[in-house]
């Protein structure tokens, strides 16, 4: 089925009702990689039920509409799509357990032309199911590599946040575990690309790769730890572009430039000297 611009813009997402527990909250933090040092009490607060805190990026696994682009009615070649960008705005701290409602909508589509692909911009709000209060708003850019040239609009394209040209003000290294993807997937992303070696090889990788949103969570924790004394309530927003995959077991260095409440950042894998997250922008409270 060909791409139908109007159909995609009006895609009928159903609200997602989800209940999560303290166990889910701790599992998410373990999937990011916190808790590897049993003497690190800053990380313990996110993986132990006593006075439990929630990593802000846990919002990205709440109220997700699922892999809707696999629906044949979308006309999208879902096998060739990639996650291009992710944004997050926190309206209030996530509770350690609760019930939420996730609501997704398409906010824009850009036709990059024949052979150049299509960009799909979406937005998801997560609200407290009992009060209706907004907890978080997420934005996402999906690059559909095989679907350009259908006659859709050529813009507007989301602007890229440019990093400062000076040397980073701070950096923090985070060693991922070889089994990291196998733990992170238990928070809801069961794509076999992150578990089965044969599927990783078929996709052109030497082994299963880490979820992009796990790398995203690691970078957010690096900013929170380095600049907020580990206080998750101080992170107000976190936006980034995905530029390359991470293999579980590699070390991610998050480089940060601090300009008052705005933090520019990128992340690179030390073992391959490869930038994996780029053009990042976070705001602090």
Q: Kindly list the catalytic residues.
A: 189, 194, 209, 212
Helical residues (DSSP H) of 138-211, grouped into ranges: 180-184, 197-202
Distance CA 278, CA 242 (A): 6
The verdict on whether omega for the bond into residue 281 sits within 30 degrees of 0, i.e. cis, is no
Q: How far is Cα 213 from Cα 216, in angstroms, rounded to an integer?
A: 5
20 bridge partner residues: 98
What's the CA gap between 172 and 183, in Å, rounded? 22
Environment class of 170 (CB within 10 Å of its CB; exposed 0-12, middle 13-18, buried 19+): middle
Which residue is listed with tokens 């006309």? Answer: 75
**204: exposed, middle or buried (Cβ count in 10 Å: 0-12, 13-18, 19+):** exposed
Residue 160 is given by DSSP the state: P
As a whole number of angstroms, the distance between CA 15 and CA 213 comes to 22
d(CA 272, CA 280): 20
């Amino acid at each position: 089925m060909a791409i139908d611009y109007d159909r995609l813009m009006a895609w009928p997402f159903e609200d997602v009702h989800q209940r999560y527990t303290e166990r889910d909250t701790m599992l998410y933090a373990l999937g990011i990689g916190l808790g590897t040092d049993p003497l690190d009490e800053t990380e313990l607060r996110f993986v132990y039920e006593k006075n439990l805190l929630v990593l802000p990026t846990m919002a990205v696994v709440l109220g997700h509409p699922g892999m809707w682009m696999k629906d044949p009615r979308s006309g999208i070649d879902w096998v060739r799509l990639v996650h291009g960008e992710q944004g997050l705005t926190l309206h209030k701290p996530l509770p350690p357990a609760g019930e939420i409602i996730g609501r997704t909508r398409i906010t824009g589509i850009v036709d990059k032309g024949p052979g150049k692909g299509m960009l799909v911009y979406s937005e998801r709000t997560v609200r407290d199911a009992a009060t209706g209060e907004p907890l978080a708003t997420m934005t996402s850019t999906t690059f559909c590599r095989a679907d350009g040239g259908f006659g859709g609009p050529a813009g507007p394209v989301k602007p890229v946040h440019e990093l400062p040209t000076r040397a980073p003000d701070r950096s923090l290294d985070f060693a991922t575990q070889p089994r990291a993807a196998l733990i992170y997937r238990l928070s809801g992303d069961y794509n076999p690309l992150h578990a089965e070696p044969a599927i990783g090889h078929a996709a052109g990788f030497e082994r299963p790769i880490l979820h992009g949103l796990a790398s995203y969570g690691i970078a957010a924790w690096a900013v929170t730890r380095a600049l907020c004394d580990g206080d998750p309530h101080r992170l107000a927003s976190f936006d980034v572009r995905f530029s390359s995959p991470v293999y579980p077991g590699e070390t991610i260095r998050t480089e940060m430039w601090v300009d008052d409440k705005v933090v520019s950042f990128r992340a690179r894998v030390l073992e391959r000297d490869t930038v994996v997250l780029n053009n990042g922008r976070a705001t602090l409270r």
